[in-house]
């Protein structure tokens, strides 16, 4: 453990300090297969790994889910823009059958399958894909036309209600939305809505209780104790002084325009942000020292995420933004402070210099182009899109005038502070955004454990 902390602190260039700990790292790496499911080589390697690690008849738990691009609302919107796109020809709709294949091969005691909420409304032809998936999951062998001996069947449980689907039920009797988990209702500081199915093999008795509701946790509950940072300037020389001058000038100019538009409260709030801008904070780094005092919170989230043994904060570095985006960020964060919501579209980004140079800006299709994570509420869904430009993930503090850092996004996903994200910043954001919140996963794992016990 000390070797890992030395690595996190930057004292060591490797996360191990002996041959024994190196072997553990190598073993963990070997357990991770980078393969393409559905390809002959990928399936061969996966089957080999399963055969090597799972004894015949041995119980296991299967966790996973098919890629979501074909089911997500964003992905489907993009597909509609393709003249020759036909859902029937999109193989991604049917990748869940690769999950079925593994399910049929391993016959786990329990499986957990996760996907985006858009899967509930996704259609291929006149068929709802979710109904097909649910029907296939209760009897994988039948779905794959593999009638080899006794067929293993499953009952599918909701994690938020008493709803259960079994092989002898009418699929139309099920409300698909009973399988949606709203993460913010279970102690996660993020409005992440995902379909999560809990499959239990039919020979195993008992059922799990739904996830317990918990008090909602806000953005600032989760990230408010992290050191304040300033953003960086791009396309012009960057320094603390230059940054403060640029953002302060935007505040002054926007304040004058707000007065002219009769928005007196907004004008005053913009002026109040200026003293905070003049405090010369840094832009962060891969490792920064912990502040001497830490903000406490009424919930136990920070107790679960902090690590007293770690003397640094990891992955807490702001990115650079262009001056015109900083103008939008400081306006949006100030607006959100007053209205307790993020401004939307061209009607509310109405002051001079706020409209982006986008041909369709006033179409209404880009109303959330710039979105503040409101401080007193759970954040919106943290996705891998955060790696792009940060416009959807603006920090609620106007005086910091920036998008979220990797560590802040990780906090909202409930990664512990000692989880050190590697690679460049884009890769770090992808690791955070593509994950299931660890504390939510832990809650589900605890229910699976109790069921199997």
Global model pTM greater than 0.95: no
> What's the total number of domains in the chain?
2
290 with 345, same domain: the answer is yes
Six-digit token string for 372: 């503040």
Pick from 215, 245, 271: which residue ends a domain? 215
Range of the domain at 114: 59-215
Rounded to whole angstroms, the Cα distance separating 40 from 58 reads 25
Q: Which of 86-95, 227-236, 359-368 has the highest mean pLDDT?
A: 227-236
Is residue 168 one of the residues assigned to a domain?
yes
What confidence score (pLDDT) does residue 76 get? 42
**Predicted confidence (pLDDT) per residue in 338-374, tens digit:** 999 999 988 999 999 998 887 777 777 777 889 999 9
Beta-strand pair 110-116/61-64:
parallel
**Predicted confidence (pLDDT) per residue in 394-435, tens digit:** 999 999 999 999 999 999 999 999 999 999 999 999 999 999
pLDDT band (50, 70, 90) for residue 42: very high
pLDDT band (50, 70, 90) for residue 292: confident
What confidence score (pLDDT) does residue 92 get? 54
Is residue 43 one of the residues assigned to a domain?
no
Pick from 215, 233, 265: which residue ends a domain? 215
Is residue 148 one of the residues assigned to a domain?
yes
Q: Look at the block and give the residue holding tokens 């003397």.
A: 311
142 with 271, same domain: the answer is no
Rounded to whole angstroms, the Cα distance separating 410 from 274 reads 29
211 with 243, same domain: the answer is no
Pick from 160, 182, 215: which residue ends a domain? 215
96 with 194, same domain: the answer is yes
199 with 278, same domain: the answer is no
Q: Is the per-residue pLDDT at 298 higher than 80?
A: no
200 with 316, same domain: the answer is no
Q: Is the per-residue pLDDT at 146 higher than 90?
A: no
210 with 233, same domain: the answer is no
């Amino acid at each position: 453990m000390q070797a890992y902390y030395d690595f996190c602190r930057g004292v060591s260039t490797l996360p191990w300090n002996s041959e024994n700990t190196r072997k553990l790292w190598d073993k963990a790496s070997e357990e991770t297969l980078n393969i393409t499911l559905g390809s002959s080589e990928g399936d061969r390697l996966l089957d080999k790994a399963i055969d090597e690690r799972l004894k015949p008849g041995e119980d296991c738990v299967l966790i996973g889910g098919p890629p979501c691009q074909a089911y997500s609302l964003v992905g489907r919107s993009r597909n509609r823009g393709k003249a020759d796109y036909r859902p029937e020809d999109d193989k991604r709709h049917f990748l869940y059958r690769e999950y079925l294949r593994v399910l049929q091969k391993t016959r786990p005691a329990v499986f957990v399958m996760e996907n985006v909420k858009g899967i509930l409304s996704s259609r291929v032809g006149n068929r709802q894909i979710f109904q097909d998936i649910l029907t296939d999951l209760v009897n994988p062998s039948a779905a794959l036309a593999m009638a080899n001996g006794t067929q293993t069947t499953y009952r599918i449980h909701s994690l938020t209600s008493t709803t259960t689907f079994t092989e002898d039920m009418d699929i139309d009797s099920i409300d698909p939305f009973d399988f949606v988990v709203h993460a913010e209702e279970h102690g996660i500081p993020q409005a992440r809505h995902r379909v999560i199915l809990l499959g239990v093999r039919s020979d195993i008795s008992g059922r799990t209780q739904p996830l317990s509701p918990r008090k909602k946790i806000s953005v600032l509950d989760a990230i408010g104790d992290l050191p304040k940072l300033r953003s960086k300037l791009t396309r012009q020389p960057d320094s603390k002084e230059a940054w403060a001058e640029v953002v302060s000038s935007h505040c002054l100019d926007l304040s004058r325009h707000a007065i002219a538009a009769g928005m007196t409260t907004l004008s005053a709030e913009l002026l109040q942000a200026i003293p905070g801008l003049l405090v010369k904070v840094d832009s962060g780094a891969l490792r920064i020292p912990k502040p001497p005092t830490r903000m406490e919170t009424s919930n136990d989230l920070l107790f679960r995420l902090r690590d007293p043994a770690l003397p640094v904060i990891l992955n807490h570095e702001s990115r650079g933004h262009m001056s015109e985006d900083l103008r939008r960020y400081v306006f949006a964060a100030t607006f959100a402070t007053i209205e307790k919501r993020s401004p939307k579209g061209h009607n509310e980004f109405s002051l001079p210099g706020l409209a982006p140079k986008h041909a369709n800006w006033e179409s209404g299709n880009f109303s959330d182009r710039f979105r503040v994570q409101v401080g007193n509420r759970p954040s919106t869904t943290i996705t891998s899109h955060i790696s792009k430009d940060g416009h959807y993930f603006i920090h609620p503090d106007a005086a910091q005038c920036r998008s979220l850092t990797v560590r802040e996004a990780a906090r909202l996903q409930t990664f512990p502070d000692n989880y050190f994200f590697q690679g460049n910043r884009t890769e770090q954001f992808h690791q955070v955004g593509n994950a299931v919140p660890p504390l939510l996963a832990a809650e589900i794992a605890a229910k699976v454990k109790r069921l199997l016990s």
